[in-house]
Structure 1
Amino acid sequence: MSDIQKYLDQLEGLDFSGLYGNDFLHTWDKSTDELRALYAVAGALRNLRERNISSKIFDSGLAVSLFRDNSTRTRFSFSKATNLLGLELQDLDEKKSQIAHGETVRETATMISFMADVIGIRDDMYIGKGDAYMEEVSESVQQAYEDGVLDHRPTLISLQSDSDHPTQSSADLLYLIEEFGGLENLRGKNVAVTWAYSPSYGKPLSCPQSLISLLPRFGMNVTLAHPEGYDLMRERVDYAKAQAAENGCTFKQVNTMAEAFEGADIVIPKSWAPYAAMEKRTNLYAEGNDAGIAALEQELLAQNATHKDWVSTTDLMAKTANGQDTIFMHPLPADISGVSCEHGEVEADVFDMHRVGMYKEASYKPYAIAAMIFLQKVADPAKALKVLEDAATPRWNQF
């Protein structure tokens, strides 16, 4: 596109004032207008970069990241997003901090917030712990700001918690908006969100929960599939049902991949751990019961192994609405049979057929995160975007 007017038009008439100066912890905490604004701003920022126009709104400042679980895509997406807006990034390594010596959450949150504009946190390993930690950080920086310790309040972004992965699901939706030519064109599309076999254990529930919570809000028909016993959090399933009823679409649950793939326009197969097992692991962790955790891991690996037939194959893809051309999505990395593992979530030929699409899906995450920051820090996003475009400062001086 030659300009960003399309995205500025999308912002017209939306009430997204609640995003300014606020945190972004869950998509379900945000109004539909606020989410629409997020997608419009993300599109505008991508448009500016692709036309070699700088989108820096900061001349200086710091972004702080804290990853309590391993990450490639989200870690680098946060780095790219903050750089895109003009911030420098500092990663907090808890092993090199005073946290190991008993420093409190309140003190850590305050100390890292001097001259910081945004804090990104991934804490997804234990049920109830990630969300609680982020809320404590948020409350701590708010108190420090009110006490006059901080000159302004840094905003917090969840880079994945135990319940939600808002940056991933937002990137997924941006990808679908592009693939189908607009948010309005997603209404009525059939999506299979399904469990798949993995030879590892303890994968978070937040990815599927994020999807089933978000997609029905825009009229997408969602089918959730998993073997018996691999339940998600009850409140997230109930929310998905309520959103489907409110937005004139459907949400249903089935117990085979074949049922979920039948007639689907989009399939998203991804392994996750049973909610009950993750709760048990959280309790064992709180007790310091390492032997119990090790025993649970072996139990769950054996349970997973009874469902090796839950794998994406060309035969399953043939059941979808468009056969091998149906959109296949995954947050990556995927467990690829015969490549990254002996048996996994997806056969190599299916993965290779859809690899480019999944890489494109991942490419939207930096823009999703940048848009979250932009809307939290800019009172008039449409004006700011127009100023950036009119200035036309080259991001890269190509001589």
Structure 2
Amino acid sequence: MGKRNLISVVDMKDEWPALVDLGIKLKKERGHHGDPLKGKTLAMMFEKPSTRTRTSFDVAITELGGHALYLDVSKMQMGHGETVEDTARVLSRFVHGIMYRAFDYKMMDKLGEWATVPVISGLDNLEHPCQALADMITIKEKFGNFHGRKLVFLGDGNNVCNSLLYACAIMGMDMVACCPATRMPNAEILYNATQIANANGSKIIASHDPQEACKDADVLYTDTWISMGDTISVEEAVKLFQMYQINDDLLKIAKPDCIVMHCLPAHRGQEITNDVIESPHSVVFDEAENRLHAQKAVLYTLMKD
């Protein structure tokens, strides 16, 4: 099999269930899984700052026996006298894989097209596949299965929402994207995810009504109201998204054993209340930890000999 990328969730659609199980396995075996990536170097290119993505990828490649190389894109020549195509081809001669955290998915796609080593998205403005993988790992840990489960995403139909649509559809889990009409997820991704879900016996639904959407939910999920590149002010965001806040009122509508997820960083008092994020329903820090194990699963699958 030739070089593969993980830029969109669907790039590894057929392997997604195996990636979830591998992440759980590597988590259980932490410290005892040997050095399968010994001698491998991962270039980590960052346009956008990060806590979880940088730390989890760095620790993941290190614990698998490899090495992480941090590259600040603002201090690179890419886009400043050198084309993305040339950067991709040069880096491919030096390293065994590239993780790229970008503002623009078009740049991500171009890097993936021209690199001859695997390119892994650490987030762009269209998708965040590694976050979705960590989320699926967390859900399987908590419930043991996906079929018959319902995830409700509340707020801005952003990159995280887009990747969750694909991930839920692939795993056979129902999902409701509950967002204001002006901030719905990407229309093409919503359509494609619906088709995948239909084939897997689950449902993808778009909604603007949080009260209706949250009925019998197994998972309530939210993210920041102001996504990367947004020009919306905090005041405008509060006015637009206030009814989509995860709070005690919405939690009461969901199932009694519902879990609450947030990819972090959280703006407590905006998209989620402090009481909910600190409640027994919250799994946000388990979810954050699982970024490490998701990254390990991806790196192992794409970079091993």
Tell me the TM-score normalized by structure 2.
0.90
Contact 1:82 1:370 in 2 (8 A): yes
Query: Following the alignment from structure 1 to structure 2, what is the Cα–Cα distance between the partners of residues 135 and 269?
Result: 26
SS in 1 for 2:264: coil
Is 1:265 aligned to residue 218 of structure 2? yes
Contact 1:61 1:115 in 2 (8 A): no
Q: How big is the alpha-carbon RMSD for the aligned residues of Structure 1 and Structure 2?
A: 2.4
How far residue 109 of structure 1 moved from its aligned partner, in angstroms, is 2.3
1:218 is matched with which residue?
A: 171
Judging changes above 3 Å, is the alpha-carbon distance between structure 1 residues 260 and 115 closer, same or farther for their aligned structure 2 residues?
same
SS in 1 for 2:205: strand
> Residues 296-333 of structure 1: CA distance to partner in whole angstroms, max 9, x if unpaired?
545x85264244232111121111111xx410011011
Contact 2:47 2:74 in 1 (8 A): no
Query: Following the alignment from structure 1 to structure 2, what is the Cα–Cα distance between the partners of residues 221 and 329?
Result: 16
How far residue 238 of structure 1 moved from its aligned partner, in angstroms, is 0.5
- Return the letter of the residue paired with 2:139: L
2:95 is matched with which residue?
A: 116
Judging changes above 3 Å, is the alpha-carbon distance between structure 1 residues 61 and 235 closer, same or farther for their aligned structure 2 residues?
same
1:394 is matched with which residue?
A: none
How far residue 114 of structure 1 moved from its aligned partner, in angstroms, is 3.4
Is 1:29 aligned to residue 8 of structure 2? no
Contact 1:21 1:377 in 2 (8 A): no
1:359 is matched with which residue?
A: 285
2:125 is matched with which residue?
A: 162
SS in 2 for 1:42: helix
2:250 is matched with which residue?
A: 316
Is 1:88 aligned to residue 67 of structure 2? yes
When the two structures are aligned, how many residues end up with a matched partner?
305
Judging changes above 3 Å, is the alpha-carbon distance between structure 1 residues 38 and 98 closer, same or farther for their aligned structure 2 residues?
same
> Percent of counterpart pairs with the same letter?
25
2:261 is matched with which residue?
A: 329
Query: Following the alignment from structure 2 to structure 1, what is the Cα–Cα distance between the partners of residues 113 and 160?
Result: 25
Judging changes above 3 Å, is the alpha-carbon distance between structure 1 residues 355 and 332 closer, same or farther for their aligned structure 2 residues?
farther
SS in 2 for 1:328: strand
SS in 2 for 1:71: coil
Judging changes above 3 Å, is the alpha-carbon distance between structure 1 residues 353 and 378 closer, same or farther for their aligned structure 2 residues?
same
SS in 2 for 1:30: helix
How far residue 209 of structure 1 moved from its aligned partner, in angstroms, is 0.7
Contact 2:261 2:282 in 1 (8 A): no
Judging changes above 3 Å, is the alpha-carbon distance between structure 1 residues 56 and 139 closer, same or farther for their aligned structure 2 residues?
same
Query: Following the alignment from structure 2 to structure 1, what is the Cα–Cα distance between the partners of residues 38 and 258?
Result: 44
How far residue 228 of structure 1 moved from its aligned partner, in angstroms, is 2.2
Match for residue 38 of structure 1 among 5, 9, 19: 19
Query: Following the alignment from structure 1 to structure 2, what is the Cα–Cα distance between the partners of residues 247 and 188?
Result: 11
How far residue 336 of structure 1 moved from its aligned partner, in angstroms, is 0.3
Query: Following the alignment from structure 2 to structure 1, what is the Cα–Cα distance between the partners of residues 115 and 222?
Result: 38
- Return the letter of the residue paired with 1:217: I
Query: Following the alignment from structure 2 to structure 1, what is the Cα–Cα distance between the partners of residues 118 and 243?
Result: 44
1:376 is matched with which residue?
A: 302
Query: Following the alignment from structure 1 to structure 2, what is the Cα–Cα distance between the partners of residues 271 and 92?
Result: 26
Contact 1:120 1:159 in 2 (8 A): yes
> Residues 64-86 of structure 1: CA distance to partner in whole angstroms, max 9, x if unpaired?
11111121111111111111211
Unaligned runs of 5+ residues in structure 1 are 1-17, 143-153, 197-203, 282-292, 338-343, 380-399
Structure with the greater alpha carbon radius of gyration: 1
Judging changes above 3 Å, is the alpha-carbon distance between structure 1 residues 163 and 178 closer, same or farther for their aligned structure 2 residues?
same
Q: 1:139-178 alignment to 2 at 5 Å?
A: 139-142=113-116, 154-178=117-141
- Return the letter of the residue paired with 2:297: A
